[in-house]
Every structure is written in C-alpha cells, then in structure tokens.
Amino acid sequence: MAQMTVKERMKIPRQDMPVQDEHVRRSNFDEVATGFTPEHVQKEADRCLQCKDPKCIEGCPVGVLIPQFIKALREGDIVKSIEWMKVKNNLPAICGRVCPQEVQCEGKCVLGKKATPVAIGRLERYVGDYELAHRTCPLNKAPRTGKKVAVVGTGPAGLTCAVDLGREGHEVTMFESLHGPGGVLVYGIPEFRLPKSVVFGEINYAVECLGIKVSCDHVIGRTYTLPELLNEYDAVFLGTGAGLPSFMRIPGINLNGVMSANEFLTRVNLMKGYLFPNYDTPAKVGKKVAVIGAGNVAMDAVRCSLRLQRLQAAKTGEDPGEVYIVYRRSRDEVPAREEEFHHAEEEGVIFNFLTNPVEILGDDKRNVRAMRCQRMQLGEPDQSGRRRPVPIEGSEFELEVDTVIMALGTSPNPLVFVDAEGLQRTKWGTTVADQESGRTTKPRVWAGGDVVTGAATVISAMGAGKRAAADMHAFLTGQTTW
Amino acid sequence: MYKILEKEVFSDVTKLMVIEAPHVARNARAGQFIIVRIDENGERIPLTIADYDRKAGTITIIFQEVGKSTKQLGTMNVGDSVATFVGPLGHPTEIENFGTVVCVGGGVGIAPIYPIAKALKEAGNTVISIIGARNKELLFWEDKMKAASTELIVCTDDGSYGRKALVTDPLKEILAEKGAAVKKVWAIGPAIMMKFVAAATKPFNVDTIVSLNTIMIDGTGMCGGCRVLLEEGAQFVCVDGPEFNGHKVDWDNLLSRLQFYRKEEQEALQQYDHKCKLDAAVAKGGQ
C-alpha cells in the first residue's frame, strides 16, 4: 500500500463513535457508546500524522506512547499496538472510556489546531477491549522478592499500584471496605458509561496473573489500623480516594428526597438499585429531579435519574418526569467531560445555568416540594481562574422539585487515618505526599490519587499509583532508603 | 463468605446468630456495629454488635424480622454463609466509672445494650437496667442482662411478663428517686422509644446516650444516607455515631427519614413472601 500524504490524511474526517439512539438508551443502563468497528479504526488511525515531536504524549498523565500504538494499529498489528499501550497503561479499556481526552492527549493533538484531533481515546478503548477479549499480552511476574505490600483501596490508584508491584514480584494484598473491588469505577461510574464487566475483567486478570490478594469487607482505620498494617507489611500504599460527600449548608438538606450523589450512584451502580426488586437495594427518584453541580458525577447522577424515571414509568404507565442540572456558573465553566455533557443534552436533561439553590422546601410530610434559588451572574475571575458567580439581587424564585441530588465534589475519607500518627494532612483533609514519589510524611507509607489531590480524574490517580509503585519498588529492593 | 456457627430462635421473629468473622472480632468493642449482606443480590444492613469473642473470632448478632432481608436471614441456618460481613463500624461506647448509670433496652435493642451494660459494670458502675418489649415472646437475654446489671427491671407493654409498663415508666421513677445520683442513661431500641426516653430524662438533665440505626449503605461515611439532624447540624450515624446525645437529636426528622423507602420495602417483602409460597407449593407438588 502506497504511503498516504499528509494532505490525504488530513482529508479523512474524524470518525464518529457509534452510540445507542438517545430515545432508546434513555430507558436502559447499557453502554451508550458501542465502540469503533475495525473500519473506523483504520480510518482514524490513518489520520495520525506521526509527529516527530508528539505533543499528545505530553498531554497524557501517564505518558502513553500514543503515536507508536496508533502506528501499529494502522499497520493492522493490534497485538503490537497492545504491547505499546501496556508499556505505560495497564487499563486502556477503562481510560479509553473515562479520560477527559479533550483536555489531555487530544487537546494537544496538532490536528486539533486546524480541524479536529485524532480520536485517541476511542482508539485506546478499541485496543483495550480487544485485549480484554483476547488476552494477547500476558502480565508477567518477576521472581518473588519476599517483600509484602498492602494497598489500601482498590480504585484506579490502588489497582495500578498493585499491578505494577505485583509484576515486580512483591506479595501484594489489596484492602477494600466495600464488598467488591473497583472503588469509584464500580460505585460511582454508571454501567452505561463504564460497564462493570470491563472493570472486573481487568481486576480478575491482574489477580489471576499476579497472585494479588484482594481482601474485601476490610475498613482500614476500623478493621485494621494503619500502624497495624505497618507491623505486617514492608510498605503501604494509600489509594483511598475522595469518598466523603459534601452537602450544601442551606436549610432543608435533611428533608426526604435530598441525597448525595454518592448515595444515589452507590444505590444505582454498586447495589444495582435499577434492578430492584430483583436486587434488594431500592433506588428511586421523583418526577422532578434536580442535580446540583455540573461535573462528571453530576452528569452521571442526572443521566441515571432520567433512566430510573423511565424504568419507573414503564411500571406505572405515568409520565416519566423531568431532570434538571442546577449549576451556579455558565455553560463555559461546566467541568464535566465534553462527551458526557453532550450525551446528557441529547438525552433531554434540562440545564439551569447561573442558578444557585438557597433553601430546600418541604411539604407537611417532610418531603421535598421545591427549591428556592437565586439567579447568578459572572463577575471577576476567582482563584480557580473561572469567573466568580455573584447573586443577582431580587432574583429569587422557586423551582418545583421532589428530589434533590447534591453533586458538589467530595473529599478524602478520614477513617483510614485513625491512629496514623505522623501522617501529615492539609486543611482540606488531603494527604501530604511527594508528587513524584508519592511518599507521605510517615515512613513506609505512600499515597496517591484523590486522597492526595482531592477529587480528580481516573487517569491522574493511575499516574500517581504508577509513580508510587516505582518508588516503592526502589525502596523495597534497597535501591533507595526512606 | 462468613459462616453462621450458631443460631438461636428467641421467637418467631427474633433470632440470634453467631458469625465467624475474626477480622471483625479482633477490634470489636461495645457500641459498634457491623454491616451484613446476605448474598450477591442483597442489600447492606447495619446491625449493632450484641456480643463478640475475640479468641473464637466470632460476632453475635440479634435481629428482628421486619423486612425482606431480615426475614431471609432468619431462614438461614448453621453452616450457611453470608456474602458480606464488615466491621467493626462506628465509635465504641465510652466506658468509664461514672457511678450510677441506667441502661434501657427495648425489643431487639436488648441485644446491643447488653455488651454496654456488661462493660459498664466491669468498669465499676452501679448498673440499673430496664428491658422491655411488646410482649413476653419478644423478650430475651433476661439472664444475661441480670448478670450484666446490678439491678434489672423487666417490663412488657401488655403485662404478659414482668411489670406491665413502658420502659419509660420505671425510668422516670428511678430518676425521681435517685435524682442527680444517676450520671448517665443509655437507651437502645426502636426510634420512637428512644425519643420518649430522651424526653423522660430531659427534665432531670441527665446525659442520655442513644444508639441510632438509620438507613445506611456503606457504613464508612461515603453515602450520607444515614445523616441525622442534631442541634449543631447534620451528622453521619455511621462515622460520627452510632451513639449521640439523645437530647440533641431531631427525632421527628429521624422518624420521617426512616420511612422514605417504606413503599419499596413493602414491595420487596411482598415479592419475597410470594416467592416463598411458590417455592413451598412446588416443593409440595414434587413430593
């Protein structure tokens, strides 16, 4: 096949991701994006210009060798592509689905300057899914080192750290407080965005190949404390995430029908509440659901809500109702991943921008009946660089709602720090850890992911887990000291 | 999986189970709770620890069959296993020698008040315990409570055993008689009982500690479904409690939040009962 010219490559349009029709998918929890076909992959891979100085890699928190894996793909060598991928990323099927590519790799792609960037995330997912189905790239384990490591938390940070340390031949035990591993990938991210089979496929494979032990139902801080772990293990990694929900400090937050996005999503995802009563945990919403916030968690909650409404309506024959996003800033400041916002819009979510709740109002039975809100306008930029929303005087109004879900961000759960003397934390409750090595202020304890940064992305947690694993390995093999 | 090692049937609806869970037993203390999930489709239900044996690695739970999950748990037998058993969760009871204290246990709340009474007595307190239930059927552990207390008063609502009274009646008498000599009161039972215990002790200004059992999923501070309104604002029962100052709890808010999933709870129970009947009919037909 003759080489394509740059011009020819640039003529190929960015390939659209096939998706379930929005009218169909609103009534099910199946995955929205159904994945590239080999034809899409060929065309999309052909678009890559194979830059001499690839900027995309710089945009990736773990530095995936993007031009290399795409080159192999377009040459039809998917096994080689997976090998390139796995040099830096153990969990491509997950990252391809949940990374905010538009501000990472794809945001740096030179094609994006003139037209649209290469759909790196979609290609990554394709490679990851192929590997999940075919397992062409075994996880090899180095000879046993005799060192024992405890990894607390089985989300993206812990999982990445555990796999890297397992490959180096260390004996790894992961501790999970819930009844199954995966952390936020399982309790937080809905099935329609990240199927649980993908998460469990990755975890089971790692556990099988590397002999990693997973101890569920263990709450570190209660079942065992950190000092107790340090007595039994040579090193400990804390990847406990940011699991503590925030509630607004406004009247009415304890009315019936007000919940945290964490509670709602855990009911729906981890406990499979959308399959109630075949699963025992109920998840329900009313006819007018307001989700406060506009991050990924808010989009997940609002899209779960509209699906639940339709499942409920299928039983009762009534009108399903409406769902709203209530956000105090404007469209431009929406922090959610672009694709999630777009999908939410398609599915019929109503967006109330520049709107801030000041009180939740109840009826005589203490059920939510409305939210008193005020209109906002954007003022001067604040510390985050975004324009600060300021209330417009006299703009208060009532929004009729019966369910309020708060998706206002989360902070690290302090439970793990019980008796953890010498482990320094910030005033926001995050753990102080070296950005490169992940070392905390307590000897033999490393930390990474949301427990250090506060709520961030899956991929940045994976990056932190990977960097910590490298330093832990160096420490465990005597190449460095504490 | 966590094996059921012993089962004791106190009444048609009240059952005791000893569960093999060394990881929970090793750090367990009076006042803490566990979360149990029966099987892969099960919900996570919080139950206060009734007793523990660190050496044997076991936890004792006592539950009343009120919904689908507890009913299903009640059908399980020695040798069966539950899928999830997590703990110990929440703060343990602060045990000190306070002097004279009163421990009130209502219904299935007799179970969690027992280890507290026992620990308080071991710490040197004079422990006056009051246990009560709707009827004789629903009473249990009178002997154990007797051993864990300096003095024990037993009452039933219908007078079928012990004194015919609500637990608040003897409590008020004790407070009237002993006054400030009573340093603290613990009360565990149905929310409505704890509300009235708190109301009874308020005029005497006696510290009153209640152990709340709210709707909960993870039990580690993650979901916030368990939040309770106190005078100082909302707190989480799972990580801030489960014990709280009963005089500061907004009881009406608590009672209404407990009702939020009532309709779904009934639906689950009905479906379960229906399935049980079908299974029984099939089994009968097969004979």
For the cut 60, the answer to whether the pLDDT of residue B93 exceeds it is: yes
Q: Is B71 on the interface with A (CB under 8 A)?
A: no
d(CA A341, CA A34): 18
Tell me the pLDDT band of A9, cut-offs 50, 70 and 90.
very high
Residue B82 distance to chain A (closest CA, Å): 12
What is the ipTM metric for this complex? 0.93
Whole-angstrom CA distances from A403 to A263, A303, A343, A396 are: 13, 14, 22, 20
Per-residue model confidence (pLDDT) at position B282? 85
The answer, yes or no, to whether residue B122 has pLDDT greater than 60, is yes
Both structure tokens of B67: 């919904």
Tell me if A192 sits within 8 A of A344, measured CB to CB: no
CB pairs under 8 A between A and B: 120
Mean pLDDT of A130-159: 92
- Residues above pLDDT 90, as percent of chain B: 93
Strand partners of residue A370: A361, A400
Across the interface, of B84, B223, B227, the residue whose CB is closest to A217 is B84
Length of chain B: 287
Instruction: Extract the tokens encoding B193.
Output: 């009982």
DSSP codes joined into one string, A58-96: HHSTT---HHHHHHHHHTT-HHHHHHHHHHH-S-HHHHH
Contact A223/B27, CB-based, under 8 Å?
A: yes
| Chosen from B66, B222, B258, B262 to mutate, greatest number of chain A CBs within 10 A | B222
Question: Residue B141 region, left (φ>0) first, then alpha (ψ -120 to 50), else beta?
Answer: left
* Pairing assessment for the beta strands B14-20 and B227-230 based on DSSP bridges: unpaired
For residue A86, the one-letter residue type is K
Q: Give, in degrees to the nearest 5, the angle at Cα B21 between B19 and B228.
A: 85
Per the rule left: phi > 0, alpha: psi between -120 and 50, beta: everything else, B25 is alpha
B-chain residues within 8 Å CB-CB of A177? 86, 218, 220
Distance CA A137, CA A60 (A): 22
Contacts of B224 in chain A (CB under 8 A): 245, 247, 259-260, 262-263
Residue B254, Cα to own-chain centre: how many angstroms? 16
DSSP lists the bridge partners of residue B111 as none
Computed over every residue of chain B, the mean pLDDT equals 94
Question: Cβ of A366 and B256 within 8 Å?
Answer: yes
Integer Cα distance of B226 and B239 in angstroms: 10
Residue of A14, A80, A22 lying closest to A45 (CA atoms):
A14
pLDDT in tens, B20-56: 999 999 999 999 999 999 999 999 999 999 999 999 9
pLDDT at residue B231 is higher than 70: yes
Residues of A in CB contact (< 8 Å) with B are 177-179, 187, 215-219, 222-224, 243-245, 247, 253-254, 256-257, 259-260, 262-263, 266-267, 270-272, 276-282, 284, 365-366, 413-415
Residues of chain A found within 8 Å of residue B267, distances taken between Cβ atoms? 277
Contact by Cβ (8 Å): A64, A103: no
pLDDT on residue B287: 55
- Cα–Cα distance list, A189 to A207, A238, A278, B81 (Å): 22, 21, 21, 30
Other CB atoms within 10 A of residue A262 CB: 28
Q: CA A297, CA A344: separation in Å to the nearest integer?
A: 12
pLDDT at A1 over 60: no
The whole-number average pLDDT for the span B268-281 is 89
pLDDT in tens, A81-134: 999 998 888 889 999 998 889 899 999 999 998 889 999 999 999 999 999 999
Q: How far apart are the first and last CA of chain B?
A: 32
Residue B66 in tokens: 């009120």
Tokens of A180: 């199954």
- pLDDT recorded at residue A431: 96
State the amino acid at position A344 in one-letter form. Answer: A
Beta carbons of A165 and A472 less than 8 angstroms apart? yes
Q: What is the pLDDT of residue B284?
A: 80
Distance CA B80, CA B20 (A): 11
Residue A49: closest CA among A106, A10, A3 = A10
Provide the residue type at A193 as one letter. R
How confident is residue B279, by pLDDT bands cut at 50, 70 and 90? confident
What residues in B contact A297, CB-CB < 8 Å?
none
CA A459/CA A456 separation, integer angstroms: 9
Banded model confidence at residue A137, pLDDT cuts 50, 70, 90:
confident
Quote the pLDDT of residue B278: 87
ω into B242 cis (within 30 of 0): yes
Phi, psi of A410 (to 5 degrees): -135, 160
**A46-93, pLDDT tens digit by residue?**
999 999 999 999 999 889 999 999 999 999 999 999 999 988 888 899
Estimate to the nearest angstrom the gap between the alpha carbon of A95 and the chain centroid.
9
The mean pLDDT value of chain A amounts to 94
Band of pLDDT at residue B286, cut at 50, 70 and 90: low
Average the pLDDT over A147-166 and give the result: 96
Instruction: Using DSSP, state whether A194 is helix, strand or coil.
Output: coil
Which contacts (CB < 8 Å, 24+ apart) does range B195-199 have?
Answer: B195/B249, B195/B251, B195/B255, B196/B166, B196/B168, B197/B104, B197/B167, B197/B168, B197/B171, B197/B246, B198/B246, B198/B247, B198/B249, B198/B251
Element of type H or E holding B279: helix B262-286
Which amino acid is residue A134, in one-letter code? H
Contact A366 B234 (CB under 8 A): no
Residue A383 has pLDDT above 90, yes or no: no
- What pTM value is reported for the model? 0.93
Q: What pLDDT score does A206 carry?
A: 84
Within an 8 Å CB–CB cutoff, is residue B81 touching chain A? no
Q: Would you state the pLDDT for residue B81?
A: 97
Structure tokens at B135: 């009827």
pLDDT band at A2 (very low <50, low <70, confident <90, very high): low
Reported confidence tier of residue A300, pLDDT bands at 50, 70, 90: very high
Comparing CA positions, the residue from B134, B128, B123, B112 lying closest to residue B61 is B112
Q: Is A413 exposed, middle or buried (0-12, 13-18, 19+ CB in 10 A)?
A: buried
A276 and B257: CB-CB below 8 Å? no
Q: How far is CA B147 from CA A2, A320, B119, B188, in A?
A: 91, 58, 12, 19
> CA A441, CA A421: separation in Å to the nearest integer?
10
Which residues have C-beta within 8 Å of that of residue B18, sequence separation ≥ 6? B4, B5, B6, B7, B58, B59, B60
Contact B87 A280 (CB under 8 A): no
Mean pLDDT of A477-482: 94
Q: How far apart are CA B80 and CA B68, in angstroms?
A: 18
**Could you tell me the pLDDT band of residue A40, with boundaries at 50, 70 and 90?**
very high
Closest CA to B30 of B109, B88, B84: B88
> φ and ψ at B36, to 5 degrees?
-120, 145
